Amino acid sequence: MKKIFDIFSKKHSGHVKEKPKAIVDYREKNSLIPSELIHLGLEIEFRNLKVADYIIKGVAIERKTVSDFVSSMINRRLPKQLEELGQYKERLLIVEGIDEQELYTDSEDRIGMHPNSIRGFLLSILLKYKVPIIFTKNYEDTAKFLSVLSKRKPNEFPLNVKKKNLNKKEQKQFIVEGFPGIGPKTSKKLLKKFKTIKNIINASEEELKEVIGKKAENIIKIIEGKY
């Protein structure tokens, strides 16, 4: 007697649908997003990503909270991160928490960055660095965006991207830009005038003021201030 196949049996050898996967930088373990992604049905793999916080379906995603976004503009970390993100054909910047914290107001905010400076930087991200921006309400909203992204048709993507190596001039400029209020133009002025970082540090406040005006006071405070 032939065995009859029971179509109602719970046991079957059909193909099990694979979960969409997100590669997550290990530093994101402290955020609530990975656990939320697991809740939404994604498989998580933590790695030490040199560039980006998440890689999903070939898209490199840099995630920043509102406060981190503003502070990374001030300390000049963000431009470098955006340049590195440019190694991916598809990339995305997520600014998270606009329901919880204002990105800017119509006057100087508590950390002293003018709203127009933030607006200008947002335009630069879109026009200069060619990185799309998504503003999310909170971590749950961010996770939902990433979940939707994970359902896209898969693309090939590189995992061997590296931190951008700065040449010697760029390294010097990067160090000088670490002083508060010192951007690319001002750092170049200082380096052209004083030639070396050592000469900048050893310069008097009066000599610095001749080149960059009141911004010299910020440099002196850092150089002479105790740790």
Averages of pLDDT over runs of 10 residues in the chain (227 residues) are: 51 66 94 95 94 94 94 90 92 93 66 80 93 96 96 64 74 83 83 90 88 85 81
**Is 5 within the bounds of a domain?**
no
Report pLDDT for 108. Answer: 46
Residues 69/63, Cβ–Cβ less than 8 Å: no
Report pLDDT for 182. Answer: 81
Q: Are residues 135 and 205 in the same domain?
A: no
Whether the model clears a pTM of 0.85, i.e. scores above it, the answer is no
Domain containing residue 206: CATH number: 1.10.150.20
Of the three residues 150, 180, 215, the one that is the final residue of a domain is: 150
Taking alpha carbons only, the member of 40, 48, 36 closest to residue 20 is 40
Domain total for the chain?
2
**Full residue range of the structural domain in which residue 209 is found:** 168-224
Q: For residue 17, with 0-12 CB atoms within 10 Å meaning exposed, 13-18 middle and 19 or more buried, which class applies?
A: exposed
Q: How many CB atoms lie within 10 A of CB 73?
A: 20
CA–CA distance, 158 with 55 (Å, rounded to integer): 10
Report pLDDT for 224. Answer: 84
